[in-house]
Amino acid sequence: MNTSVNSQTLKTERLTDAFQLFNELSKNLSDSYQELQKQVASLSKELADARTERLKTLIEKEKLANRLQQILAALPAAVIVLNGENRVLDCNAVAIDYLGEPLIGQNWEDVIQRSLISVFDNPHERQLINGKRVSVTQNVLNNESGQIILLSDVSELRALQDKVSQQKHLSAMGEMVASMAHQVRTPLSTAILYASQMNKISVTDNSRIKFSNKILERLHYLERQVNDMLIFAKEGRLAMEVFSLQKLLARVVENMHDMTENNNIKFDISNNVQIDEMLGNEDALLGAIMNLLNNAVEAQQDKALVTMVLNQIDQTSLQIQIQDNGPGIDSITRQRLFEPFYTTKVRGTGLGLAVVDSVVRAHSGSIQCESTKDTGTLFSLLLPCVNQYTASLSDIGCHNMENIYETV
């Protein structure tokens, strides 16, 4: 009997303990569920806030994109976006107006060949089919997967620049006429004086030869002055055509022979250019070269040496270097060398080097002067006038003109 009671009591105690444990687990589960609900609520709020912020960002980006589209459409310049394969990915309405259709998806090189014409005087500008001048600017995109091209209409700017240049030139022409009147009259009077003596019976044959040389010297001087005046009057507008470099150098040699025949001057010329066919104005280049050579000869005295070296820098550029061993040029004078009518000579017009600069710029080239007192002067001309489509001199049976002429 007691055993049965004890067994019943033990079962009751165990059942009580089980219920108590169940209650504790239920309470823990309830607490965990409430905590989970709080976390879910917090995460839901954070997600809602993030979604709201994301939507706000997207709206702002959409507004910015619309604003950029409006700006792009309102730009007076043509904007072309290229992909990594150099094909047109996007463009604005001005680009279509400038370049025509089709444009999207086209290879940019094909578009250039079709709609953009190269201009001789500026490699960074092109001419459209309708005659407008545009400047070409391009930048690589940040991701380096393409680039953006900007075409800006510079027609009005060029017209204004030409007008200002024309006004300045007219002013300079008036100054030049006043200067040339004296520069022409003096040598002309001298030539007339010598010519008037030549038909006199009392004049010996030696004197006649001397008078003839003097007249020829004055006439050559007048010819140079007139040529300089004509080139300066053209404002660098020169007719460009194909010419032979060998022929140009032969003319230089001939002119230098007349200049150095009776003087203690040595002239060396070296041609290292392997292409004979050039594109430019032969007469204008000859005049510019002779201006520099004349200055080199006039600047020197006894045992004078003048050298002329030609090199080809790249596929299209010709470099001409003219060096003398004269007294040199000080820094102050060197800064004003290419100004019209600036001269340090008593009988000079100041047009010589201004004409040289004008000819060089007409060929889209550049000129530099390196000189110090008592060490000589070096003029370097860089002219993009080599015809890159011609054969080398070795292919056409020509040879370098090494020391083609010298006289002492």
- In 135-234, where does DSSP find H-type helix? 155-198, 205-233
Domain co-membership, 17 together with 69: yes
Token pair 């300079």 is found at 172
Per-residue model confidence as pLDDT tens digits over 260-288 = 766 677 888 899 988 888 888 888 888 88
Contact 396, 258 (CB under 8 A): no
Domain that includes residue 80, residue range: 75-153
Residue 195: inside a domain, yes or no? yes
Collapsing DSSP to helix, strand or coil, 392 comes out as strand
**Number of folded domains in the chain?**
3
* CATH assignment of the domain containing 190: 1.10.287
Provide the residue type at 284 as one letter.
Answer: A
Region of residue 86 (left: phi > 0; alpha: psi -120 to 50; beta: else):
left
Residue with the larger pLDDT of the pair 217 and 110: 110
Domain co-membership, 82 together with 137: yes
Domain co-membership, 21 together with 47: yes
SS3 sequence of 50-107: HHHHHHHHHHHHHHHHHHHHHHHHHCCCEEEEECCCCEEEEECHHHHHHHCCCCCCCE
Please give the model's pTM, rounded to 2 decimal places.
0.48
Q: Is the pLDDT of residue 308 over 90?
A: yes
Residue 182: inside a domain, yes or no? yes
Domain co-membership, 26 together with 62: yes
Report residue 394's pLDDT band, with 50, 70 and 90 as the boundaries.
Answer: very low
pLDDT of residue 42: 85
Region of residue 317 (left: phi > 0; alpha: psi -120 to 50; beta: else):
beta
Cα–Cα dist 299/218, whole Å: 19
Report residue 132's pLDDT band, with 50, 70 and 90 as the boundaries.
Answer: confident
Q: Is the pLDDT of residue 393 over 50?
A: no
Domain co-membership, 53 together with 94: no
CB under 8 Å to 181, separation ≥6 — which residues? none
